Amino acid sequence: MRDSFISSIYKVTKKDKNVLCIVGDIGAFLLRNYIKDFPNNYFNLGVAEANMVGVASGLAMSGKIPFVYTITPFITARPYEQIKVDVCYNNANVKLVGVGSGASYGTMGSTHHSLDDLALMSTLPNMTVISPSDPLEVEEAVFAAAKHVGPVYIRLTLKSKPLIYKREDFKIGKARVVRNGKDVAVIATGDMVEVAVDAASILEKENISCQIINMHTIKPIDERLIGDLSKKYKVIISIEEHSVMGGLGSAISSVLAQIPDNKALFKAMGFRDEFVKIYASDKHEIFNAYGLSEKHLANEVLSLYMYAKSNNTRRH
pLDDT for the residue 316: 40
Helix locations, 84-189, DSSP H: 117-122, 135-147
Q: Does 91 lie in the same domain as 30?
A: yes
CATH code assigned at 60: 3.40.50.970
Q: Does 66 lie in the same domain as 188?
A: no
CA dihedral angle for residue 271, residue 274, residue 279, residue 284, rounded to 10 degrees: -10
- Spans of the chain below 50 pLDDT: 313-316
CATH code assigned at 221: 3.40.50.920
Contacts of residue 94, Cβ cutoff 8 Å, sequence gap at least 6: 53, 56, 57, 60, 66, 68, 87, 151, 152
Q: Does 189 lie in the same domain as 142?
A: no
Q: Does 97 lie in the same domain as 206?
A: no
pLDDT for the residue 263: 87
Q: What number of other Cβ atoms are within 10 A of residue 191's Cβ?
A: 26
Q: Does 25 lie in the same domain as 85?
A: yes
pLDDT for the residue 314: 45
pLDDT in tens, 31-63: 999 999 999 999 999 999 999 999 999 999 999
pLDDT for the residue 309: 85
Going from the C-alpha of 168 to that of each of 31, 140, 202, 240, the distances in angstroms are: 30, 11, 26, 22
> Is residue 160 in a domain?
no
Domain hosting residue 233, numbered range: 176-315
Q: For the chain, how many structural domains are there in total?
A: 2
Q: Which positions are annotated as active-site residues?
A: 49
> Is residue 185 in a domain?
yes
Q: Does 181 lie in the same domain as 151?
A: no
